[in-house]
């Protein structure tokens, strides 16, 4: 499960955190394997900016669920800080923490500067080195006397994933022998090309003997297809607002989208959200089966921005019921 801690219209970040806790507890009860949170900044509709803090909150209030980042946007941070944060999480909740890393900033230019990281071509190019630095710390002997080391973090073997919506991270994950997760829930165009590139070029590592790929898709499920389509309009409106440069809280669903988007916006949103399974339990089951067949993914991650908390809980419940049938 992927959670962006959405802040709905009329709600507050605290409401979003309460909803995330309810969702994480349900995910654990239903048998979801991972629950990841995504780093975004300067977006009033997403409350997961302090990703590691929120992971700790959810980990403290669950027992077995794996918690992680989907992802931490590494260009925003010094690798040592991330190693220390996730080393702390792994120390507190051993065997339950994942570190998913992305290369995008997850914010606009002004926000990147507000994060006080110098943005330049060399900064972006440091991503592979920063990933390798993190892995070297996590895989080091715990008694190693390094001049700089994360405390805690050194030698903790924290699982590291590379996330991507293009071919870059697929290539890097293959080269470093790391698991790879593709963000087809918002950027589906290069999904199959990225998976092929990752698998064809994969080099075994001490961490991973063979390719291991995850695909993230949107699932909006309800007891009827009509209701699911209604719920889905919140995400569609959210994407329109993003494309207009006006991100905001997650909008209420509407009965009809026709008056809310232009033909070109409709095309763009439908293209971006084409990897979405929207419908009742039967349709979701068929959609997941087709996705697994076509991608041969080792894991499926599901995302769903739904305005009403109870409808959101029901959607993920139906998604897991469909997966269990498969």
What CATH number corresponds to the domain at position 259? Answer: 3.20.20.30
Distances (CA, A) of 150 to 25, 90, 142: 30, 12, 11
pTM (predicted TM-score): 0.95
Mean pLDDT of the chain, nearest integer:
95
- pLDDT at residue 142, rounded to an integer: 83
Is the confidence at residue 97, as pLDDT, over 50? yes
Instruction: Give residues with Cβ within 8 angstroms of 294, minimum separation 6.
Output: 192
- pLDDT at residue 3, rounded to an integer: 98
d(CA 288, CA 148): 45
Separation of first and last alpha carbons in the chain: 17
Coil, helix or strand at residue 213:
strand
pLDDT tens sequence across 185-220: 999 999 999 999 999 999 999 999 999 999 999 999
Q: What's the residue count for the chain?
A: 326
d(CA 135, CA 70): 17
Domain that holds residue 163: 2-324
Is the confidence at residue 122, as pLDDT, over 50? no
List the one residue out of 113, 241, 121, 99 whose CA is nearest residue 178.
Answer: 99
Q: What is the mean pLDDT of residues 123-141?
A: 90
d(CA 266, CA 272): 10
Structural domains counted in the chain: 1
115 pLDDT tier (thresholds 50, 70, 90): confident
121 pLDDT tier (thresholds 50, 70, 90): very low
d(CA 288, CA 48): 27
Is the confidence at residue 25, as pLDDT, over 60? yes
299-303 vs 276-279, strand pairing mode: unpaired
66-73 vs 34-37, strand pairing mode: parallel
275 pLDDT tier (thresholds 50, 70, 90): very high
CA atoms within 13 A of residue 235's CA, in its CB half-sphere = 26
Q: Indicate the angle between helix axes 168-176 and 191-201, nearest 10 degrees.
A: 20
- pLDDT at residue 144, rounded to an integer: 84
Look at the alpha carbons of 205, 209, 215, 216 in this order and tell me if their dihedral is positive or negative. negative
């Amino acid at each position: 499960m992927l959670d962006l801690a959405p802040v709905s219209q009329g709600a507050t970040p605290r409401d979003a955190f309460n909803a995330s806790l309810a969702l994480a507890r349900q995910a654990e009860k239903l048998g979801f394997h991972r629950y990841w949170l995504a780093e975004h900044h300067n977006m009033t509709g997403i409350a997961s900016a302090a990703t590691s803090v929120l992971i700790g909150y959810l980990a403290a209030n669950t027992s077995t669920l794996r918690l992680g980042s989907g992802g931490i946007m590494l260009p925003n941070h010094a690798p040592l800080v991330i190693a220390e944060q996730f080393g702390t999480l792994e120390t507190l909740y051993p065997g339950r923490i994942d570190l998913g890393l992305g290369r995008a900033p997850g914010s606009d230019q002004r926000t990147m500067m507000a994060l006080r990281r110098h943005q330049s071509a060399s900064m972006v190019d440091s991503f592979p080195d920063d990933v390798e630095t993190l892995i070297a710390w996590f895989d080091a002997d715990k008694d190693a006397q390094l001049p700089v080391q994360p405390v805690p973090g050194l030698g903790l073997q924290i699982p590291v994933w590379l996330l991507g919506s293009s071919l870059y991270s697929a290539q890097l994950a293959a080269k470093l022998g790391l698991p790879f997760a593709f963000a087809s829930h918002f950027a589906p165009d290069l999904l199959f090309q990225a998976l092929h590139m990752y698998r064809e070029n994969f080099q075994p590592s001490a961490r991973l003997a063979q390719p291991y790929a995850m695909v993230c898709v949107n699932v909006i499920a309800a007891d009827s297809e009509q209701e699911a389509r209604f719920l889905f309009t919140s995400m569609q409106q959210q994407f329109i607002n993003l494309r207009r440069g006006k991100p905001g809280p997650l909008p209420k669903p509407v009965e009809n989208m026709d008056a809310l988007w232009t033909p070109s916006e409709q095309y763009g949103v439908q293209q971006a959200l084409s990897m979405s399974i929207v419908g009742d339990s039967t349709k979701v089951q068929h959609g997941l089966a087709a996705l697994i067949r076509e991608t041969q993914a080792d894991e499926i991650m599901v995302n769903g921005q739904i305005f009403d908390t109870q409808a959101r809980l029901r959607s993920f419940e139906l998604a897991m019921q469909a997966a269990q049938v498969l």
